[in-house]
Amino acid sequence: MTEGRNHTTITKFILLGFSEFPKLTIALFSVFLGIYLMTMSWNVSLITLIRMDAHLHTPMYFFLSNLSFLDICYVSTIAPKMLSGFFQKHSSISFLGCTMQYFFFSSLGLTECCLLAAMAYDRYAAICNPLLYTAIMSPTLCVQMVAGSCIAGFFGSFIQLCALLQLHFCGPNVINHFFCDLPQLLVLSCSDTFFFQVMTSVLTVIFGLTSVLVIVVSYGYIVAALLKIISAEGRSKAFNTCASHLTVVILFFGSGIFVYMYPNSGDSLSQNKLASVLYTVIIPMLNPLIYSLRNKEIKEALSRWKKGFIWCY
């Protein structure tokens, strides 16, 4: 830290990580390393399968491959630093490194909010307007929706970054978390954070509530359309295409709401840390499984890939 005439400026932070479980260090490291490696391999495999199989070159799988790429980037902003901290007595991160970690984490999270809303609209178009689906969800529109999600996410996070860099940190510099998250940073700031909190609330409404509203309205129309389907087989097939997406939405938004709406005091700190593990590390690993286990088209693509692989030998 550097000392000025009347104050001390923090130049680095100490991340406590999971130091409250010293006897489980090796076990936790092994578990999180395994989760990270599985996340990378499963998402890369899903992207590769979608790229290689022409039957999966549809809007739904285009969005899914982008979600997998987003999850790879998302978990990579948190996991490497978290893993390296297990065997450091004091895991430190510079002020700039801390703010940049939050910037990329936040921008990818906001992008995922928008992308999940876009995927909900895609399911609405597929089920409610099946005859016009290919016309509505054109390749150009799909690319625009993904690009728009990324631009919106990075722009929203950039606004937060600019405001965060204006805050003053004079100590203490200990963050009781495994990464630089906003609530913990605001607690440590010596500046008045009222404006920052208002701005963050506005961004939450714009991104969070707008995304949820799009998802809820889309599935409202989907449910109405499903009720009109007479055959049980047709209804089940249509529902299966939405069940995976709904599961991901509930896990992502549910864990996020618990962390950012629950008060950060007392025993809730440990609960928030566990919930943070869910949406930063576990959900990116589960997403490719959730979308693959009950997906007939992906299973058929895997079967074709296996047959082609065996035929090569």
d(CA 75, CA 54): 28
DSSP state of 169: -
Return the domain boundaries, the chain: 2-312
d(CA 181, CA 101): 9
Tell if the pTM clears 0.75, that is, is over it.
Answer: yes
Listing DSSP states for 269-297 in one string gives HHHHHHHHHIIIIIHHHHHHHHHHHT-HH
What confidence score (pLDDT) does residue 130 get? 87
What confidence score (pLDDT) does residue 8 get? 56
What confidence score (pLDDT) does residue 39 get? 95
d(CA 149, CA 111): 5
Q: How many CA atoms are closer than 13 Å to the CA of 47, on its beta-carbon side?
A: 14
For strands 12-15 and 91-94, give the pairing: antiparallel
What confidence score (pLDDT) does residue 58 get? 92
What are the angstrom distances between the C-alpha of 55 and each of 51, 138, 235, 312?
10, 16, 22, 20
> 2-312 has which fold?
Rhopdopsin 7-helix transmembrane proteins (1.20.1070)
Residues 6+ apart with CB under 8 A from 85: 15, 17, 91, 178
pLDDT tens for each residue of the chain, 313 residues long: 555 444 557 788 999 888 888 888 899 999 999 999 999 999 999 999 999 988 899 999 999 999 999 999 999 999 999 999 888 877 899 999 999 999 999 999 999 999 999 999 999 999 898 889 999 999 999 999 999 999 999 999 999 999 898 888 887 889 988 999 888 888 888 888 888 888 888 888 888 889 999 999 999 999 888 888 766 666 776 677 788 888 899 989 888 887 777 655 445 566 778 888 988 999 999 999 888 877 788 888 888 777 665 555 4
Helix count and strand count (H, E) for the chain: 13, 5
